[in-house]
Amino acid sequence: MLRLALLLLAVPAAAEEFSVVSWNIHKGKHLARVEKELTSSSLSKASLFALQEVLTDQLSGVSHAAGRDAIISRWKLKKRGHVLVNPETGRVAAWADAVSPDGTTIRIYSLHLSYKIGRNPFIPHVRTAEMRAVLDHADPVDGPIIVAGDFNTVGWFFCCNRSAPLLHLLHKRGYTDALAASNVDCNTQHIVGTVDWIFVKGLTPISATCGNYAGSDHKWIQATLKGAVR
């Protein structure tokens, strides 16, 4: 059972600046270590968490989940749902509207894009189509947006595969890479390189951190953001 949600919600959240964390927890294979890390001093003050590969029996206390993508929020969620990103496979992504302490509604997506077809992980066209489905879903939103998760931008050991077509699509649609804006580069997965990202729209990145594996085969990433950009 994922007890971390209840532990996290017990800590008050900041208002003017806030942090969002994205982490693929590797199906919670080492859940106790994951929970310990998420409640550590490094992450304990974050307001929003986008988690991937969360299994059904680990969802107790999670604010919202769709498939294996979950969102934990210290803020009230006024709406939540899922978006179908790949009709052929049934893959979905979780989304929620979180209301910050100052009353601003922030849309957050937690997503895990396709890794491979058969044995082939080099499928940028598939992942770009999946990301386009998320961005099309977000288009009507009148307010700040966070798109975070495991995008599977496979690069094989090499850091920061920023040439991936889906990343170009995000930039074209007005989203900012929160880690790049903070001059943070890192491999988030020890075999396939940088696959985990936080992109924002209508928010200003202040700082970012590339964290630890701590019970997963992915590092967590965190971005500190400043209020809505009008």
Walk along the chain (230 residues) and give the pLDDT tens digit of each residue. Answer: 455 554 555 554 545 799 999 999 998 888 889 889 988 988 988 999 999 999 877 766 568 888 899 999 999 999 999 999 999 999 999 999 999 999 999 999 999 999 988 888 889 999 999 999 999 999 999 999 999 999 999 865 555 677 899 999 999 999 999 999 999 988 898 888 899 999 999 999 999 999 999 999 999 999 999 975 44
- The residues, any chain, with a CB within 8 Å of residue 101's CB and separated by 6 or more, are 13, 14, 15, 75
- The residues, any chain, with a CB within 8 Å of residue 6's CB and separated by 6 or more, are 61
- Cα 108 to Cα 94: distance, rounded to the nearest angstrom: 8
Residue type at 75? W
Residue 6 has a pLDDT of 46
What ranges in the chain are assigned the alpha helix state H? 4-9, 31-38, 124-138, 165-172, 178-181
Quickly tell me which residue has 């302490």 as its tokens: 101
From residue 8, give the alpha-carbon distance in Å to each of 30, 40, 46, 56, 78: 18, 10, 9, 19, 19
Cβ(100)–Cβ(138) under 8 Å? no
Residue 229 has a pLDDT of 47
CB count, 10 Å around CB of 127?
Answer: 23
Cβ(169)–Cβ(124) under 8 Å? no
Nearest to 22 by CA among 174, 230, 219: 219
- Cα 229 to Cα 207: distance, rounded to the nearest angstrom: 16
Beta strands 91-99 and 76-86 are antiparallel
**Domains of the chain by range and CATH?**
4-228 (3.60.10.10)
